[in-house]
Amino acid sequence: MKNFKNNAISYDYGTIFIPSQNQKMNNEDLFNFLKKTSKETYINITGVKTGLNEGIDLGSNNFKSITKPKVAMLVGNGIFGNDAGEIWHLFDQRFNIPITKLDLSYFDRIDISKYTTIIIPNSFSVSTEATQKLKKWVLNGGILIGYRNTINWLVNEKFIRVNFKRVQTDTIKNITFEDKQKSRGAQVIGGAIFKAKLDRSHPINFGYKNNSIALFRNTRLFIEPSIKSYNNPIQYTSDPLLSGYISKENLKEIKNSIPFKIQNLSKGKVLIFTDNTNFRGFWYGTNKLLMNAVFFSKIM
């Protein structure tokens, strides 16, 4: 959870520490496994001979235990297929992580208690029965991750509290009847890139080296930041547009808004993203945000 140095090597936020003791593997097998993993994934794994560091020591309570998640995703009627497909591709094809697809047509009849995390892609409707089942699951400790228009449903069903910034379009003057459709179309964000600043000490941003990030966006969901700055680990800048089109009205509201929010709900947590972090399987720069949400949500 904090930076430190060991043997003059600096380690950043989110460093993974793997003890050689109390493992199911013996030392030699563990070494060979980590060596193979390092080669296959291009991740540097460094052996250390002492737990005494500059900064926090390896025995510090600033190291938090993480557990292997079991992840599921809602699919089917009411869920946008493209968004679900992008998330499935990231897990299954890019990271070789199993993800169970739960179809809403039979969701009421299955046991979801075995899943630690459930992802809801961009969606427009979830049945009352499914809502009640998900709410009970979160209250008992589940991690629910919602994307884009799912946020409106999560707010309406009181999974999470959010204050939206409302775009004022009634100030647009001198629009003829003929041009009214063009005026409405001008308020659509069809796909543009925006700059946000990062709090790299927050687990949602573990692994990022820069203090800013480029986010792809095609929604008009603008969330007010929290008055507590540490609850805004990702926040659009006051001059956020990097590429693409956005109307003056939308640009005013996106400034300093937040694209990510997390709240506790009894024993569980609800995480929301206004932006598509997995756009078409090629927007690699924000894939890590979803993976951090899955693996590190318990320590957020």
pLDDT tens per residue across span 6-49? 999 999 999 999 998 889 999 999 999 999 999 998 998 999 98
Residues 217, 192 contacting (CB under 8 angstroms): yes
Residue 128's H or E segment, with its range, is helix 128-139
Residues 114, 140 contacting (CB under 8 angstroms): no
User: What was the pLDDT predicted at 165?
Assistant: 85
Residues 6+ apart with CB under 8 A from 60: 2
**Residue 170 pLDDT exceeds 60:** no
Closest CA to 290 of 146, 100, 123: 146
Closest CA to 273 of 69, 65, 86: 86
Please tell me the distance from the alpha carbon of residue 300 to that of residue 298, in angstroms, as a whole number: 6
- How many CA atoms lie less than 13 Å away from 34 in the CB half-sphere? 17
Closest CA to 272 of 165, 155, 166: 155
Residues 260, 234 contacting (CB under 8 angstroms): yes
Mean pLDDT across 201-215: 96
pLDDT tens per residue across span 130-144? 899 999 999 999 999
- Which top CATH class is 71-299? alpha beta
Beta bridge partners of 147: 273
pLDDT tens per residue across span 226-263? 999 999 999 999 999 999 988 888 899 999 999 999 99
Domain boundaries, the chain: 4-55, 71-299
Residue identified by tokens 């793997």 is 18
Q: How much is the pTM?
A: 0.91
- Residues making up the chain, counted from first to last: 300
Coil/strand/helix, residue 27:
helix
